[in-house]
């Protein structure tokens, strides 16, 4: 793929649709709400929007339990609303990426209703059914990602079915060729409507061990961890045959022009990069969540970047993520000052960055009272802090009631600080984190060194993370102080330059000599040799 390919140069902005903008007062965001905010997204500088699931669903897991792959849930609108959204997004130069959830359906999906109706139904093998052990217990020790056994007994047909997540989310049998054809047809349904790509949910789960062997115990498991960590998922996920499926999905997208396949994959780097596929025939962008999982430490992050760059297959394009709908917000993890430094990191590393809605206005940790909790994971394993509601709270658009998100009662509480942390106010504040995000995005667009240039680490000590981005004769130095004390960084031998941007608003463009002092919690970009 050439450097000009949109998903290489562009910035992806994830929208959790329930929480972005409500247009009808029911307290839940919708497609028309997203459409109303397209001008904001274009102003910010996003190149593509990724929308979490909007398909018809009983909402047991808020849309990740799909009851129809070729429709829109009435909560979010209609197919006509979707068509209008994609038309208006494209008119503004915005691409649209849909979430695709192929590992499992809702238990209300017509396919599963047929499958569970009898052992002889033609769709029985579309899902994973197994006999009980002789003592009546589940077929093996596999654990649901949301806690408890991953096997649910079906009294009517006297077998267990497998669900990697909720019991309301039975797993499809991707070893069945008819399942594959049906799912690829669903992809084509949306591609024909103009969708620019897909983020594929839990793509590494699609194929399970053919013999359904027990997973081995995890010797490092602790009682404070989620139950899924009790065993190592050797046989329930990341099977060798999954790469054939990913390659077939990629083949469907190759029938269309410049579409992108993104895979959600929580795996170590050496296994993650295998999802690029042989000769790059797999996912264009296997999601790299290492910045979410690594301690906020300069030396550890520098080592991570080097390890990732070294592990990429030849021609593989990197990508970076700071947060999403399943992980605590970056502001909640590292605080508001370092969140500004994190923004510079995300938008200056080599590869495609994915932003998460609300990070650009500095939403941090939002406390959710127990009586307001919505996430089924929190309800299944209470007290472990696993609930994902805090990162799914509504966007703050202005200082009016409910932050301009809705005229009704929001489905989740807003950040109580929303009146001082909303897009309208921050947009007009030259020192705000929103202004910083926009300036970083502008720089990235103006300077090929930041969007498609090479990466080279600068050796440092202490709390400074530094690297060069290079393209042609242009050399840009990015220096990030991940600590809370001032740090001095010598410039590369014989180099001098000019400060282009600081994460702190009171530092303007200035010449830089043989060294530069970074204040506490500051990141800077320096143009070298000018």
d(CA 466, CA 459): 7
Q: Which residues contact 526 (CB under 8 A, 6 or more apart)?
A: 476, 477, 479, 491, 497, 498, 499, 500, 512, 516
Nearest partner of 508 among 519, 500, 516, judged by Cα: 500
Q: Which two tokens stand for residue 181?
A: 């054809």
Asked if 98 and 71 count as a contact pair (C-beta separation under 8 A), the reply is no
255 is catalytic: yes
Burial class of residue 431 in the structure, from the number of CB atoms within 10 Å of its CB (0-12 exposed, 13-18 middle, 19+ buried):
exposed
Q: Which two tokens stand for residue 177?
A: 């060729």
User: Element (H or E) spanning 190, and its range?
Assistant: helix 177-192
Nearest partner of 113 among 231, 446, 122, 144, judged by Cα: 122
Q: Which two tokens stand for residue 65?
A: 């339990």
Asked if 330 and 323 count as a contact pair (C-beta separation under 8 A), the reply is yes
Asked if 518 and 491 count as a contact pair (C-beta separation under 8 A), the reply is no
Nearest partner of 322 among 294, 283, 285, 284, judged by Cα: 294
Alpha helices in 287-353 (DSSP H): 290-293, 298-311, 330-334, 336-348
Burial class of residue 32 in the structure, from the number of CB atoms within 10 Å of its CB (0-12 exposed, 13-18 middle, 19+ buried):
middle
Beta carbons within 10 angstroms of residue 174's beta carbon: 23
201 is catalytic: yes
Q: Which two tokens stand for residue 62?
A: 């808020």
C-alpha 497: how far from its chain's center? 36
Beta carbons within 10 angstroms of residue 1's beta carbon: 13
Question: Per the residue annotation, which of 152, 201, 378, 522 is the catalytic one?
Answer: 201
Residue showing tokens 């979010």 = 76
DSSP helix/strand/coil, 319: strand
d(CA 411, CA 283): 34
Question: Per the residue annotation, which of 154, 254, 255, 442 is the catalytic one?
Answer: 255
One-character DSSP codes across 231-284:
B--SSSS--TTHHHHHHHHHHHHHTSSS-EEEE---S-HHHHGGGG-GGG-S-S
Q: Tell me 171's DSSP state.
A: B
d(CA 378, CA 175): 32
* Residues identified as active-site: 201, 255
């Amino acid at each position: 793929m050439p450097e000009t390919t949109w998903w290489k140069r562009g910035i992806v902005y994830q929208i959790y649709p329930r929480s972005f903008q409500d247009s009808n007062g029911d307290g839940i965001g919708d497609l028309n709400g997203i459409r109303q905010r397209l001008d904001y997204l274009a102003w910010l500088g996003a190149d593509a929007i990724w929308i979490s699931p909007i398909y018809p669903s009983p909402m047991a897991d808020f849309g990740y339990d799909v009851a129809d792959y070729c429709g829109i849930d009435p909560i979010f609108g209609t197919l006509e609303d979707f068509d209008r959204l994609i038309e208006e997004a494209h008119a503004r130069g915005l691409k649209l990426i849909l979430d695709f959830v192929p590992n499992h359906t809702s238990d209300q999906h017509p396919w599963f209703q047929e499958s569970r109706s009898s052992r002889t139904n033609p769709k029985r093998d579309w899902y994973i059914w197994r006999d009980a052990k002789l003592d009546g217990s589940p077929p093996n020790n596999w654990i649901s990602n949301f806690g408890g056994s991953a096997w649910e007994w079906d009294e009517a047909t006297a077998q267990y079915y497998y669900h990697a997540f909720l019991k309301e989310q039975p797993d499809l049998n991707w070893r069945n060729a008819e399942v594959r054809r049906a799912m690829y047809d669903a992809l084509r349904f949306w591609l024909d409507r103009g969708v620019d790509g897909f983020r594929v949910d839990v793509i590494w789960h699609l194929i399970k061990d053919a013999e359904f062997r027990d997973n081995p115990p995890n010797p490092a498991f602790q009682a404070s961890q989620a139950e899924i960590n009790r065993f190592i998922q050797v046989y329930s996920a990341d099977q060798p045959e999954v790469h054939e499926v990913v390659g077939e999905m990629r083949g469907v997208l190759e029938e269309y022009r410049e579409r992108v396949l993104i895979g959600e994959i929580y795996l170590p780097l050496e296994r993650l990069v295998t999802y690029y596929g042989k000769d790059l025939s797999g996912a264009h962008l296997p999601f790299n969540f290492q910045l979410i999982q690594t301690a906020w430490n300069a030396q550890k992050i520098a080592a991570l970047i080097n390890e990732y760059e070294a592990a990429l297959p030849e021609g593989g394009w990197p990508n970076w993520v700071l947060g999403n709908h399943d992980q605590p917000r970056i502001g909640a993890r590292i605080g508001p000052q370092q969140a500004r430094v994190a923004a510079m990191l995300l938008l200056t590393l080599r590869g495609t960055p994915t932003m998460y809605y609300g990070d650009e206005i500095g939403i941090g940790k939002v406390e959710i009272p127990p009586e307001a909790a919505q996430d089924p994971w929190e309800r299944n394993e209470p007290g472990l802090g696993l609930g994902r509601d805090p990162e799914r709270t509504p966007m703050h658009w202005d200082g009016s009631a409910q932050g301009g998100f809705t005229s009704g009662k929001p489905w989740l509480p807003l950040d109580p600080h929303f009146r001082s942390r909303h897009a309208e106010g921050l947009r007009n504040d030259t020192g705000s984190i929103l202004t910083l995000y926009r300036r970083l995005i502008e720089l990235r667009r103006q300077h090929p060194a930041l969007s498609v240039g090479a990466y080279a680490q600068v050796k440092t000590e202490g709390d400074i993370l530094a690297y060069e981005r290079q393209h042609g004769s242009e050399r840009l130095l990015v220096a990030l102080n991940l600590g809370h004390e001032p740090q001095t960084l010598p410039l590369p031998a014989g180099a001098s330059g000019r400060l282009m941007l600081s994460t702190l608003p009171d530092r303007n463009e200035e010449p830089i000599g043989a060294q530069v002092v970074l204040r506490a919690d500051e990141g800077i970009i320096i143009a070298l040799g000018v």
